[in-house]
Chains A and B, each alone.
Chain A
């Protein structure tokens, strides 16, 4: 009689580096990446945090309408993305600054969203990254569809969907996990469980033992990982991606991390969580932990730190200059990008707006025109 396996999921997350920077006893996964890769992961994490900080500054100075900080989640985003190939498609939510940077998406291209210049960001798809999704959890299905396309194109590429703990409550997240499992789609679901969906804690999202445990019901592997341990995130994502490339189907990864900042710059987290909790997670900071690890391993050097600081400074300047200085788009693009070939009615409406802008006017349009 065939043995029926329920596919157990361990509650204890995979961890390769302890919060103090020392290696753990975990021996199922390797920490042995080349020194240049180890340095690169550090560089990407620090630069992500620096750029994130600059985004917040710009929002506070009134240059951006809104910003969703990824502070505290750098290890999860960088670890997961770094383990993939550049041709593996990413399907982000909106907080994945680290993943975008790693893919070579420029600060200006990300900043377009928060400046209110273009929905979704600019040029993301050229880097095999879907535009950001403000709708929560709906893009998991796009990742599954793209993975099913890879199957039909005979590729060994995989797709990775970044979801959050809140997103896992959405019906579309369920449909995505179920479709992926049924079709054995080469798709990795990387859930950043940052503990909070705006003000709602994970305990209000589900009664299951963990997000990863849901994988049992879908018939796919589920794994919990310390989301503040970049090497662990790298290792478990690499394992899941390799299985997917091999025809082994999807994996649900739950990276346990913490959103150090507010949900967005419009949020006030002091209304729903304690300073004690924030302090607890500050002590688990992913960057400090990894620097200690690299120092002990002899990989961290003053030169590395200088290089990282220089790159951070350059990107912060690039963001500031590109966001504050750049022109807005031609208003016609608002109409021209709706359909491949504009419809007659939409062409008339485009003419109407252009005529409005050309016309002498008494009211608000005189101001509005100045901004175009």
Chain B
């Protein structure tokens, strides 16, 4: 059998009886590699670059899923990986999402690092059991003995005119599950670095890609990490209302903030980046300043992340508030057909309606 990965130290290597192949996973830091600043990468290209660099930095990193190798993924996000790293490290799987996540868990038990792709958000449902019952719980079930370095990439959210099951917001499921981390990039630079940081995490990370923003461009500095997982970014400084959002809707909130200026409302826009761990301190600092908060996300309102954030803000900042915490979200319906999605998705107007209500409180 051809060995393609250097065998890391094994549990029991120095024991008399080689009980062996329990790898002690010691992820290397997401160190920058030689690629300098890349001008004008799309988010899709930035993710691709992150996968290339992660695989080059650590030979234990594997990429697999449906159509990721030969085709390079339906969005071409995994293009070139199989050619560069060989089909043992980037491979196509049978069409079975539970299987994809299930083998990632087995690979992790033996110390390998998986970056499986679930082709579309709606197709995470068949993998739910593996993600919730095993991936999330394996560390605790083994009393901390087993790392689960698995980053599940899921092209997510709506706004691209897709068919059913291709526009879902799944974050609430994962956020309700202890043991998973959840990150959502909104820019090419964050897409690059959040993915590099996810891949070196010793815990499983659900990495939700806002496919509506795949083609936004930005110069990406691959030599200097941006913020770590667990830190939010203030994307726009304002005085009157704090808008808390993530992923695709960061750009929506920023454009709404320009419109709000015309009405004399100054919006501060916080991009959470990492939903778990949550950087509530950055949210709190902003709300203490503005006294008003609106949470915005695509997914349905009931028990969406906005519900959690609104509860946290009122629990911890009740006496700093000038107005109720409001939510600009999708509706409690199934995601609608493409011709209706523009009406369904929260856009600048739904956000500004909330801002207006917050500003008009007595």
Residues of A bordering B, CB below 8 Å: 86-87, 89, 91, 118-120, 122-128, 130-131, 133, 135, 138-157, 159, 171-172, 175-176, 178-179, 182, 247, 333, 336-340, 343-346
Q: List, in ascending order, chain A residues with CB within 8 A of B147's CB.
A: 340
Residues of B bordering A, CB below 8 Å: 1-5, 7, 11-12, 17-22, 62, 88-89, 93-94, 96, 98-99, 101-112, 126, 129-130, 133-134, 137-147, 178-179, 181, 201-203, 230, 276-278, 280
From B103, B104, B108, B278, name the one whose CB has the most chain A CB atoms within 10 angstroms: B103
Q: List, in ascending order, chain B residues with CB within 8 A of A146's CB.
A: 106-107, 109-110
Contact indicator B106/A145 (Cβ below 8 Å) = yes
Q: Which of B98, B134, B144, B277 contacts A336 (CB 8 A)?
A: B144
Q: A142-B105, A179-B103, A340-B147 are in contact. Are A152 and B4 (CB under 8 A)?
A: yes
Contact indicator A141/B142 (Cβ below 8 Å) = no
Contact indicator A148/B1 (Cβ below 8 Å) = no
From A119, A153, A178, A340, name the one whose CB has the most chain B CB atoms within 10 angstroms: A153
Bound Cα distance A160, B112 (Å):
19
Bound Cα distance A139, B133 (Å):
11
Bound Cα distance A125, B134 (Å):
15
Q: Which of A133, A149, A339 contacts B111 (CB 8 A)?
A: A149
Q: A126-B12, A155-B21, A337-B143 are in contact. Are A145 and B102 (CB under 8 A)?
A: yes
Contact indicator B94/A182 (Cβ below 8 Å) = yes
From A127, A140, A148, A176, name the one whose CB has the most chain B CB atoms within 10 angstroms: A148
Q: Which of B106, B146, B278 contacts A345 (CB 8 A)?
A: B278
From A120, A142, A179, name the one whose CB has the most chain B CB atoms within 10 angstroms: A142
Contact indicator A145/B103 (Cβ below 8 Å) = yes
Q: Which of B5, B20, B142 contacts A131 (CB 8 A)?
A: B142
Bound Cα distance A134, B203 (Å):
22
20 inter-chain pairs at a CB distance below 8 angstroms, sorted by A residue, are A86-B17, A87-B19, A87-B20, A89-B21, A124-B142, A125-B22, A125-B145, A131-B141, A141-B101, A142-B103, A142-B105, A146-B109, A148-B107, A153-B5, A153-B21, A154-B5, A175-B99, A176-B102, A340-B139, A343-B230
Q: List, in ascending order, chain A residues with CB within 8 A of B107's CB.
A: 145-146, 148-149
Bound Cα distance A273, B106 (Å):
37
Contact indicator B178/A338 (Cβ below 8 Å) = yes
Contact indicator B5/A152 (Cβ below 8 Å) = yes
Q: A152-B5, A154-B5, A344-B277 are in contact. Are A125 and B94 (CB under 8 A)?
A: no
